[in-house]
Structure 1
């Protein structure tokens, strides 16, 4: 596809909302997912440490 102007490029042949919306959602997911993975990993490590500490103090 060839665009004659920057405005035509950003309108994406009338599909701008779908194209740029999809791009935005994907970019957001790619940014947020590593943060969520790190948070879940930290929670898992804390839970394991708590279980380990509790098992040491259990009779």
Structure 2
């Protein structure tokens, strides 16, 4: 093992601030990406459902018009 103790591991040879900050930025970026992707997916699925409902209503109206 490279480090003698947990404390020396956490200190990262004097570079702890840079190492842990980079891990934090990476983790935060991934969380933001996941959040925005999920939000966009929900929005797109809702738009698709709305368009499908509209198309179905138009088909129903056209069918009723042709039956008359």
TM-score (norm 2): 0.57
Please give the alpha-carbon distance, in whole angstroms, between the structure 2 residues aligned to 1:44 and 1:11: 45
Deviations 1:33-58 (A, max 9, x none): 11101222334455677789xxxxxx
Partner of 1:17: 17
Unaligned runs of 5+ in 2: 53-68
Aligned length: 58
Aligned-CA RMSD value:
2.5
* Greater relative contact order structure (CA < 8 Å, 6+ sep): 1
Unaligned runs of 5+ in 1: 53-59
User: How far apart are residue 8 of structure 1 and its match?
Assistant: 0.5
Q: Which runs of 4+ in 1 moved over 4 A?
A: 44-52
TM-score (norm 1): 0.63
